[in-house]
Structure 1
Amino acid sequence: MTVNIANPNATPLGFIDDVLTGRITLPMVPRVVEQVLQSLRREDFSTHDVAEQIAQDPVLSSRVLRLANSGYYARGRQLSSIAEAISVIGVNALQTLVAVSGSMAAFVDTPGVNLRHFWLRAVITGNAARQLAARSGNNADAAYSGGLLQAIGHLILCQCHPDKARQGFSPFVNEWGLKLAAREVSVFGIAHPEISALWVDKLGMPQLVADAVLTSLYPVETSAPALARILRLACTVADAVAEGRSLDTALGELEPGLVAQLGLQDYVSSDEFSTDFAELQTLPGPL
């Protein structure tokens, strides 16, 4: 599938200009999320102060504790203190969790979107990106952040253009990655990565994450950061997992040029990929 993401026409640029000049206002995240993200950006932040901020929001608190007590971090321990949880999961993972939690709170009723299915795919994409980054020697934390937020621009587009969203998208038909971008271009005149990058920047996420999201669906023959290539590949893997396709089918959908650019030829033909794919199939769902 060919989608000209790298060279948007005048209409998409107009949408971007409207956002940048304030004619279109991006959704607001909860105040506590803004406070926590601001605190985490300070080099001298206090874990105690951040824990107190998080404790103001029961939903955010439960998500932090759930992540800290997951198999990935807990290693048999059971944590009940938010401060302890922060020390276990680390700043990068906490920043991502808070950013995604704020995003989920900002989009509670989006036309044309089944939000539970959307966030399930986002979680799978984030985890797939983390796997691919680790296997290719890239920044796994940044890949995870980028994967979780890569498609958030779709929610913004649907919220800004509710009538077009209802006509062009069905909450019962799920598309992802390049397929989603192609339909967005036909409905809105723009695809989600550029809008997603604006949101990532609004949340104060690292610049390398914003750059990767922005270029995540650039054509394989176009120059883009390795992290962007990982996000494009993760979208393909996540779509296969979410749609219940087999391992063999998923392997056939991987773009050879993309795999080669990341040096993952041996990985995708090994048991390591099948193991990682099976792990993605067992993810519990949205955060």
Structure 2
Amino acid sequence: MRPVDRLFQKLPQLPTIPAIVQELISSLGRDDVDLADLIAKVRQDQSLSARVLRLANSPYYGGRKTVGGIDDAVAMIGLNSLRSIVIASGVTGAIARVEGIDLARFWKHSQLTAQTARALAKLAGINPEYAYAAGLMHRIGQLLINLSFPEIGQQVAKNCRNLSVGELAALERLNLSFNHAEVSAELARQWHFPLEIQDALLHYIKPDAEGATPYAGVVHLAASLAFGIEQDLPDEVILSRVNHAIVRTLGLEEVDWLVELVKMREAAGAGSEQYS
């Protein structure tokens, strides 16, 4: 038995996601989705419908008239934004409460990382929807650690406030023989996420590890940038923390990072409205 299997054996209950989320996950990277069927399923879910309509009517899309129907809203925001809303709703709703963790703050960071990962993936020429999903789930393993081993999870959280994500993972491994990245990747496997997303979750802490794909590097950079944006740090401070070796590996040396950071800050403001 792998060490990480102990966690899943101790879980009170494996988190689940709705069937519509599973369908959209399997469709990531494809455009041959039955949109009429998808819209019908969204319409049946009041919470999802409200989110879709809120996004379509937000300043982010700059609409001059109110959009009142799901069909018009989907036409306004597009398939990829619809996927993001549905997947974000399913993933964030899979775990209702975790002792010792502010879930609203946790998911706010995860969603900002996801949006940033999508933007970086577009620049790097890889699938932005895979990157979004991986960014959204990159620390979900921490929640499962706290559910299965609450005392250890809370103690690690208390001791890691000023640690890097690599140091956090090392502390988890010292106490548990596995880290949150391994847990996240295993949950993604059990939820039947694509292999690219599983790999990104497993390797995002150390994206230069053998076998890691570009998605791991994208999520690593996105998490770093998201932390800086959340803390409203000056641009030069945020950029000083960027791992330039990963930037080179992804072929992003020529990117005007100041320009992109401005866009990411703007998207962060829109995102709080989009996915709240």
TM-score in terms of structure 2 length: 0.81
Tell me whether 1:156 sits opposite 2:144 in the alignment. yes
Worse overlay, 189-198 or 83-92:
83-92
In 2, Cα distance between equivalents of 1:176 and 1:91: 36
Question: Equivalent residues in 2 for 1:233-252 (5 A)?
Answer: 233-252=221-240
Q: Which residue of 2 aligns with 1:266?
A: 254
Q: Which residue of 2 aligns with 1:111?
A: 99
Structure 1 alignment gaps of length 5 or more: 1-9
Match of 1:279 among 251, 266, 273: 266
Note closer, same or farther for the CA distance 1:266–1:183 as it changes in structure 2 (3 Å cut).
same
Q: Which residue of 2 aligns with 1:130?
A: 118
Note closer, same or farther for the CA distance 1:45–1:129 as it changes in structure 2 (3 Å cut).
closer
Tell me whether 1:98 sits opposite 2:86 in the alignment. yes
In 2, Cα distance between equivalents of 1:154 and 1:178: 13
* SS of aligned partner of 2:93: helix
1:122 Cα deviation after fit: 0.8
Q: Which residue of 2 aligns with 1:14?
A: 3
Per-residue Cα deviation, 1:53-102 (whole angstroms, up to 9, x for no partner): 32333222212223334455565564322233334444444333223212
Identity of aligned residues (%): 28
Q: Which residue of 2 aligns with 1:147?
A: 135
Q: Which residue of 2 aligns with 1:4?
A: none
Q: Which residue of 2 aligns with 1:47?
A: 35
Q: Which residue of 2 aligns with 1:166?
A: 154
Q: 1:36 touches 1:53 (CA, 8 Å); kept in 2?
A: no
Note closer, same or farther for the CA distance 1:128–1:175 as it changes in structure 2 (3 Å cut).
farther
In 2, Cα distance between equivalents of 1:121 and 1:36: 21
Note closer, same or farther for the CA distance 1:255–1:40 as it changes in structure 2 (3 Å cut).
closer
1:236 Cα deviation after fit: 0.9
Per-residue Cα deviation, 1:155-179 (whole angstroms, up to 9, x for no partner): 1111111222233325x95877435
Per-residue Cα deviation, 1:207-250 (whole angstroms, up to 9, x for no partner): 32222222222252534111111111111111111223221111
Question: Equivalent residues in 2 for 1:212-227 (5 A)?
Answer: 212-220=200-208, 222-227=210-215
Note closer, same or farther for the CA distance 1:209–1:107 as it changes in structure 2 (3 Å cut).
same
1:258 Cα deviation after fit: 0.8
Tell me whether 1:34 sits opposite 2:19 in the alignment. yes
Q: 1:130 touches 1:140 (CA, 8 Å); kept in 2?
A: yes
Note closer, same or farther for the CA distance 1:122–1:179 as it changes in structure 2 (3 Å cut).
farther
Q: Which residue of 2 aligns with 1:68?
A: 56
Note closer, same or farther for the CA distance 1:45–1:100 as it changes in structure 2 (3 Å cut).
same
TM-score in terms of structure 1 length: 0.78
Q: Give the letter aligned to residue 166 of structure 2.
A: L
Structure 2 alignment gaps of length 5 or more: none
Q: 1:47 touches 1:86 (CA, 8 Å); kept in 2?
A: no
Note closer, same or farther for the CA distance 1:203–1:167 as it changes in structure 2 (3 Å cut).
same
